[in-house]
Structure 1
Amino acid sequence: MHRGASQSLSHLTNDVLLPTMTTRIPILLLKTRSSPTDGYEDQFSTPQHGLTFSPTFVPVLEHQLLDDGMNTFRNLLERKEIGEGQGKKYGGLIFTSQRAVEAFAQLVAEGRLNDPSYPHLAPSTPIYTVGPATSRALSALSTPSSPLTILGQETGNGEALAQYILSHYPSDSKSKFKSRLPLLFLVGEQRRDIIPKTLSSPSLEASNRIAVDEITIYGTGIMASFERDFKAVLKRTENVGRRWVVVFSPTGCEAMLRALGCLGDARGKAGGERDGKTFVASIGPTTRDFLRAEFGFEVDVCAERPSPEGVLEGIWGFMEGLGGMG
């Protein structure tokens, strides 16, 4: 049965989980650990209301930086073509993925070996980001000699970020950023185009449209070892009273269900009895709906916010609804 994240953590009490207060519940995060820090690791490694999870990362996607995209971006930074003012090509940057931020971090680390002011972005240059994880990673790159202005971290998804950009970036009397230069969007091979389409929509007045150029900076594919690695972690945790699996995208869902023994028939639909101790949470409705439509599988929790806090709130709401899990 699906249960959404309907309650905040402040409304939950220790009484729900008194029988298992000392238990470390395995939580299998089907993603690559973010660098330099990972918000999910931080969130689930911290005791919450007397309960501690034990997070394990099981990478699903394999990412590879693309030389052409990296070289193009590097050249733009070295020629100081991003920012406000004469001679600039782009007025700001957009990041919606951790991998793109990591590519940027690599270029920044290279540049700062010789120049602490790298990447030569004026403090007024807006860097738009879709959520707290990418924001934290970008904030780690900001230094007194090279401060970064990071915006939009509370938007949560591409559509909301696009609306946020429209309200901040256009050149009007209320805007801090008056440049009408295009924005540069660092993307992977697989991405949605909601941000470019929204910012340059024909429904907008011409003066309010914002051009967006994309640089494909990394490629993505399912990791060949994922199903084997996931089965190994399931084996190591098979004797626990309960465990959670958090799935972050449709990629790898079929392999996940197969490893869980939930892919029951020749048509690829979920079947068989679940083990009663393995619970599945999705990062949001896209992944939940994919599992439902493609495999007939219902997640136990769909986070209302695509963030570590949102996932944790969903799990706590579910556990409270069961009246405890001891």
Structure 2
Amino acid sequence: MTTPILLLKTKSKPHDGYAELFAQSGKYEPIFVPVLEHKFLDAGLNVVRGLLREGGIGRGEDARYGGMIFTSQRAVEAFTGVVGEIGLVGEILGDVPIYTVGPATSRALRSIPNTKLNIFGEEAGNGEVLAGYILDHYAQWYQHRTVKPPLLFLVGETRRDIIPKTLMNPSLPPERRIQVDELEVYGTGVMESFEDDFREVLARTGEGRWVVVFSPTGCEVLLRLLKEKREEGTRIITIGPTTRDFLRDEFGFEPDVCAGRPSPEGLMEGIEGFEGGEGRGR
């Protein structure tokens, strides 16, 4: 008998690493319950178009930005749409670093057609680690410049500010401090159908199921519907510390496990560790 794994996300196409890993294990049944709906923001995307067309991102002294940061696949999707219009992005951005967190976002960037980007930081796993990596790596990349050029960070309407705060920390020496400009390129909201869809899935899955939480968005609905079901043995795992801390701080709720890595393998390790007797995760 397989254990239901309720993945609160839209299934990726054409392949979804979570679906493939859990299904192949033979122990789990992955069930997707989409939570988020996204809309791209024209104001931010117009800025990106202008920067790419005018050479605003590059290694030269006259470029406005010396590199870019991505921490979500949605930001990559928004960027990919602009790249499809502009073309020649591999040539435009070939001499600047592109920083990303986690393998999924890195894969999404590498899949942009006809581009070859300098992608760094994919093993960081979270924003805090990535910020520390950027401080050292960017300093070497622009070691010939006393004042480092700003970085452009493509973000959604809802995000943490750990990366900008770390890179612009006033306590840093001026030669290490990096200006980060956040540019909103997409908005996120809860799908209107999420509550009904999740209620239906809860009704047909039983004790022992896992719920995988990928984002703070939708957590209020999630906890309200799980309030009674929790007693039936539903267990919660978060994709990383951001969502775990949100559940703790906003709702006083402690998930059973926080994945050590934001990846299918990290989730599998967290779930199997818990089931193997390691107890509540960090």
* Range of TM-score over shorter length: 0.7 to 0.9
Matched, 1:282 2:238: yes
How far apart, in 1, do the equivalents of 2:89 and 2:241 lie?
39
Structure with more relative contact order (C-alpha pairs < 8 Å, separation 6 or more):
1
- 1:157 — aligned with what? 126
1:1-326 matched pairs, under 5 angstroms: 23-34=1-12, 37-47=15-25, 51-111=26-86, 115=87, 117-118=88-89, 120-141=91-112, 143=114, 146-170=115-139, 175-178=140-143, 180-238=148-206, 242-262=208-228, 274-276=231-233, 278-292=234-248, 294-321=250-277
Aligned-pair CA distance for 1:153: 0.6
Structure 1 pair 183/292, CA: closer, same or farther in 2 (3 Å)? closer
Unaligned runs of 5+ in 1: 1-22, 263-271
Distance 1:31 1:207, change over 3 A: same
Q: Which has the larger radius of gyration?
A: 1
Q: How far 1:261 sits from its partner (Å)?
A: 4.2
Structure 2: which 5+ runs fail to align? none
Q: Which one is further off, 93-102 or 293-302?
A: 293-302
Taking structure 1 as reference, are residues 194 and 226 closer, same or farther at Cα in structure 2, changes over 3 Å only? same
Shift of residue 228, structure 1, vs aligned partner: 0.7
Change (3 A) 1:191 1:35: farther
* Distance verdict in 2 for CA 1:285–1:163, change over 3 Å: closer
Deviation, structure 1 residue 322: 8.5
Q: Distance in 2 between matches of 1:194 and 1:296?
A: 22
Q: Report percent identity of matched pairs.
A: 59
| Alpha-carbon separation, structure 2, partners of 1:322 and 1:81 | 50
- The 1:294/1:79 distance shift into structure 2, 3 A limit, reads closer
SS in 1 for 2:92: coil
TM-score by length of 2: 0.87
CA distance in 2, matches of 1:88, 1:284: 35
Q: Deviations over 1:82-121 (max 9, x none)?
A: 121243221111001121011112222333xxx4x33543
More deviation, 305-314/181-190: 305-314
Which moves more between the two structures, 219-228 or 148-157? 219-228
The residue type paired with residue 202 of structure 1 is P
Distance 2:263 2:109 in 1: 16
Q: Deviations over 1:45-90 (max 9, x none)?
A: 332xxx3433222122221110100111112112232121243221
Residue 3 of structure 1 is matched in structure 2 by: none
CA distances 1:1-53 after superposition (whole Å, capped 9, x unpaired)? xxxxxxxxxxxxxxxxxxxxxx4432111123345654323432332xxx343
Instruction: Supply the RMSD in Å over aligned alpha carbons.
Output: 2.5
Q: CA deviation at 1:139?
A: 1.5
Q: Is the 8 A contact 2:90 2:117 kept in 1?
A: no
